[in-house]
Amino acid sequence: MKWLGRLALLCVVAALSAGGVVSVQLLRSMPKLDGQASLKGLNGPVQVTRDASDVTHITAGSAVDAWRAMGFVHAQERGWQLEFNRRLMRGELSEILGAATLDTDKLMRTLGIISMARQQLKGLSPATQAALQAYSDGIQDAWQSGQVRPSPEFKLLGTQAGGQSGQAWSPEDSVGWALMMALDLGGNWGQEFARLSASQVLSNEQLWQLLPAYPGEKPATAVDLPALYARLGVYAPAASKAAQARPQDSALAQWSADWVRDMGILEGKGSNNWVVPGSRTVSGKPLLANDPHLALSSPAIWYFAHLKAPAGELPGGQKHPALDVIGATLPGLPFVVLGRTPGVAWGFTNTGPDVQDLYLEQLDATQPDKYRTPEGWAAFESRSETIRVKGQADVSLQVRSTRHGPVISDVQPQYRGLIDDKRYAISLRWSALTPDNKTVDAGMQANWAQTVPQLQQAFADHHAPMQSVVMADTQGAVAFQAVGKLPTRAASNDIRGVAPSPGWLAPYDWTGWLPTAQNPAVDGAQIEQKGWHATANQNILPPGYAHFIGGDWTTPERFQRIEQLLAASPKHSRESLQAIQNDVLSLGAKALLPTVLSAKPQHPLGAQALNVLAAFDGRMSRDSAAALIFNVWADELTRALLVPQLGAGRFQALYGKRHFRAAVEGILSRNDAFWCGPQACATQVSTALDRALTRIAASQGSQMTQWRWGAWHPAISGHKPFGKVPYLNAVFDVRTESAGDLFTVNVGQYWANDKQEPFANRHAASLRAVYDLSPSGQSQFIYQTGQSGHVFSPRSRDMSQAWAQGTYRALQFEPGRWTHQLVLNP
């Protein structure tokens, strides 16, 4: 792709210099925001207006017309995003990107996202099916009518919406995209792989030191995992080749390989939300805050819209109240996913339960097409998939499945050389891959709700990913509930799903589903008594909770800081909640600060660095030299402690999306000779600081007063795929300096194993919103790019500086004025 990037950039430059002709072409590919347009299938005119915050307001004569118009608008604004995501979930990227993305296509074909989406679509209510059909028709007609024209991505890659079929979107794609969100947020199979990989070179005690249990808890299993896997002969004979990263010949191929490798890792995929009842607010009515932490992308994952239509009746006979909902939509779905109605607001964080289990499938030595089950040997289910690849012949993929699910060891390269594939394969059981998944039904029903009880009823059908939902309504009710479907495991299941289990032993099978009434919840009276309820991906289970639902929770630093700030004021306002969302004090840094201050560096800048760190209060601000020194030192120390025991290849494969900070803290607190080695921990602390100072000075110079965390910590909203193409990424990505670190409320997660920009902010608040439920209150929001998905539109990045600086835009049902007015006619 490097040559493509250079060629494309030259084409863009040449085109821009051509002047008039190109200007006309660019203008024609921009969305039409004013005047008149037509949309087939409408029953009446639809108003599509945009306010001063650039929120799109759709006012229609019926809910079906509103959803159809939402499809039209998404096609206008996010046409390439829809096309890329359609190809991603269908495993069709290589048709336009070449062999670089074959790993991704193979994984998606193996998971069978679209085939499962077809099954789930049939089980949705007639009303939801009608909504998805109207939405898809809106997208399709926008393209077929010529009213939406291809953005530069289509031109550069020589493709069209819908590819060869011309089907730009379908209802099954909407269900598939809901599954893709569950795949992104609902997984822990990557953590199970990490335990399998590390168990090859560590003892059981050392394994749990590397991947410790949640603070205050014991490991979820007492099984000696390394001994179990050694006894079963799981590992490949060529142990030296295990878990080695494969070199990639392009940045795009590296992205694909990393995406496949890191699938099923929850670390960093978090969020914050909290609700404050009226008794603790200035207005006397509830306030609700939410900032979901997702991978930053350009365009953003969200699109803000307001859908409005009168009460009516939907196909299937469902009568509905007036539709009036505003907030964040996901291009690919017609509903508001996060937001509010005039009566009620809600916000999500990821719960992070264990809804994915890996199984060791023992192979028949004499019949390799069979695997062992509790009843004896059984044949794999098998199907053939053909993947079109640009520039070369089609690739045939044989997909195998067991009674548990798809065999992922066939398509995730990290298993090659790790497990003995002559004896074992590894399959995946995942709660979302069931035909009765009605998450999309729940999403539609939530858009009608006006009270907390109605919202709770709507979310009863939510299946995956499990979300921790705070809710508040204008009547003053507040609540918390974890919504989603949880598997149950037998008491005899001693591994409890935290690592790959023997698939031929029945005790390791799931036994059923936990009744949704037993999901974790907190009622309004409990919230009133405390004064708030907050979640930040920490362990949400109340004391004495009867069910095991997982153990891979996010460490509680963000949650603890939110609690500190909520407790600090007797009354809260919208502004105080926004200040909490933008807080950059890192409790993770404060925990290790005494350790780095004990260092005895030999570097010429060492004494000055210690003085800077001594004055450091843990705030990860953009202009902070101390924040830069601390984070680079923590990275150097982590590498020094873990690489000798794991090996460089295995460490590189496991690091980045995992930060191992809890492991480092434990090692230092124990003064652990195994991990610190002959140098001893104190020496490791000091030499890590020396290396950090050398590393920073080589880039930012020797004048420490000029060192800045923000210079190495830009928030990069990466374009797909051109964010991985040299030269083009400078045009298509959105970059802005940012604050925060891995543990701040205003999170700024970096992937320290990235070879180009290891401290760049890759995972952060994908949006921030505060909902004011008082009669005169104003809700507000912001996210990191802009509403438009067209790279040459100023609306594609006009929120980025406000997002970085912690300011917001108004989110209003009835704004004072319109900046654009479009009428869609039948």
Q: Is the pLDDT of residue 11 over 60?
A: no
Q: Please check the confidence at residue 339 and state whether its pLDDT lies above 70.
A: yes
Q: What is the pLDDT of residues 87-114, one digit of tens each?
A: 999 999 999 999 999 999 999 999 999 9
Contact 627, 657 (CB under 8 A): no
Q: Give the count of beta carbons closer than 10 Å to the beta carbon of residue 398.
A: 12
As a whole number, the mean pLDDT across the chain is 94
**% of the chain with per-residue pLDDT over 70:** 95
Bridge pairing between strands 303-309 and 56-59:
parallel
* Greatest Cα pair distance in the chain: 78
Q: What is the structure's pLDDT at 8?
A: 54
Q: Single out the residue of 501, 386, 455 nearest to residue 105, CA to CA.
A: 386
For residue 711, is pLDDT > 50? yes
Question: What is the DSSP track for 352-365?
Answer: ----EEEEEEEBPS
374-425 confidence digits (pLDDT tens): 999 999 999 999 999 999 999 999 999 999 999 999 999 999 999 999 999 9
Task: Give tens-digit pLDDT for 424-452.
Answer: 999 999 999 999 999 999 999 999 999 99
Is the predicted pLDDT of residue 627 greater than 80, yes or no?
Answer: yes
Q: Pick from 217, 76, 111, 773: which is nearest to 550 by CA?
A: 217
Q: Which two tokens stand for residue 192?
A: 């199970």
Helix runs in 648-782, H state only: 648-654, 661-670, 673-676, 681-700, 709-712, 728-732
Write the single-letter amino acid at 690. D
Q: What is the pLDDT of residue 243?
A: 45
* Predicted confidence (pLDDT) at residue 9 exceeds the cutoff of 90: no
Q: Distance (Å, rounded) from C-alpha 710 to C-alpha 714? A: 6
Tell me the one-letter amino acid at 50.
R
587 pLDDT tier (thresholds 50, 70, 90): very high
Q: What is the pLDDT of residue 786?
A: 98
Q: What is the pLDDT of residue 110?
A: 98
- 644-668 mean pLDDT: 96
pLDDT category of residue 13 using cuts at 50, 70 and 90: low
Tokens linked to 617: 């209060």
Task: Identify which has the larger pLDDT, 623 or 724.
Answer: 623
Q: For residue 483, give the nearest of 357, 354, 351 by alpha carbon.
A: 351
Report residue 356: phi and psi, to 5°. Answer: -135, 130
Say if CB 606 and CB 622 are below 8 A apart. no
Q: pLDDT per residue over 25-73, tens digit each?
A: 666 789 999 999 999 999 999 999 999 999 999 999 999 999 999 999 9
What's the pTM? 0.95
Question: Does 689 have pLDDT greater than 90?
Answer: yes
Nearest-CA neighbor of 49 among 826, 779, 823, 810? Answer: 823
**Higher-confidence residue: 1 or 161?**
161
What is the C-alpha separation between 416 and 405, in angstroms, rounded? 20
DSSP three-state, residue 637:
helix
Instruction: With CA atoms as reference, report the closest residue to 251 among 241, 240, 259.
Output: 259
